[in-house]
Amino acid sequence: MWDFPLFPEQATANAQKLDALMLFEVGILVFFTTLIFTLILVFCLRFRRGSKVDRSNAPTHSQALEVIWIAIPAILSAVMFIWSMQLFYELYDPPADAAEISVVGKQWMWYLQHPQGRSETNELHVPLGQAVKLNMTSQDVIHSFFIPAFRIKQDVLPGRYTSLWFQPTKVGKFDLFCAEYCGTNHSIMIGTVHVMEPADYEAWLAAKGVGPSQAEEGERLFVQHHCAGCHRGSQTVHAPRLEGVYGKPVPIQDGENIRFIQADDRYIRDSILEPRSEVVAGYEPLMPSYKDQISEQDLLKIIAYIKSLANQEPIQ
Q: Where are the alpha helices (DSSP H) in the chain?
A: 13-46, 63-91, 198-207, 214-224, 227-231, 265-273, 296-308
Nearer to ligand CUA, 118 or 186 (CB): 186
Angle subtended by helix axes 63-91 and 13-46, to nearest 10: 160
Question: How many residues contact ligand CUA, by CB under 6 A?
Answer: 9
Nearer to ligand CUA, 106 or 231 (CB): 106
b/e burial code for range 182-205 (CB count within 10 A of at least 16 → b): beeebeebebebbbbeeeebeebb
Residue among 105, 188, 113 nearest 142 (CA):
105
Is 186 near ligand CUA (CB under 6 A)? yes
Give the binding range for ligand CUA (CB under 6 A) out of 62-70, 72-80, 173-181, 305-313: 173-181
* DSSP label at residue 161: -
What is the amino acid identity at position 65? L
| Integer Cα distance of 138 and 149 in angstroms | 23
Is 125 near ligand CUA (CB under 6 A)? no
- In the complex, least distance from residue 175 CB atom to ligand CUA, rounded to whole angstroms: 14
- In the complex, least distance from residue 163 CB atom to ligand CUA, rounded to whole angstroms: 17
- In the complex, least distance from residue 236 CB atom to ligand CUA, rounded to whole angstroms: 45
Is 143 near ligand CUA (CB under 6 A)? yes
Nearer to ligand CUA, 138 or 167 (CB): 138
Among 11, 101, 128, 178, the residue binding ligand CUA under the rule CB under 6 A is 178
Map the footprint of ligand CUA across residues 146-165, applying CB under 6 A: none
Q: Are 133 and 201 in contact (CB under 8 A)?
A: no
b/e burial code for range 29-43 (CB count within 10 A of at least 16 → b): eeeeeeeeeeeeeee
* DSSP label at residue 294: S
- In the complex, least distance from residue 295 CB atom to ligand CUA, rounded to whole angstroms: 17
- In the complex, least distance from residue 16 CB atom to ligand CUA, rounded to whole angstroms: 28
Q: Where are the alpha helices (DSSP H) in 155-213?
A: 198-207
Nearer to ligand CUA, 76 or 109 (CB): 109
Give the binding range for ligand CUA (CB under 6 A) out of 49-57, 86-94, 181-189, 215-223: 181-189
- In the complex, least distance from residue 121 CB atom to ligand CUA, rounded to whole angstroms: 13
Among 100, 180, 265, 298, the residue binding ligand CUA under the rule CB under 6 A is 180
Is 182 near ligand CUA (CB under 6 A)? yes
Percentage helix, strand, coil, to 5, in the chain? 35, 25, 40
Among 105, 168, 218, 275, the residue binding ligand CUA under the rule CB under 6 A is 105
Binding residues for ligand CUA, per CB under 6 A?
A: 105, 108, 143, 178, 180-182, 186, 189
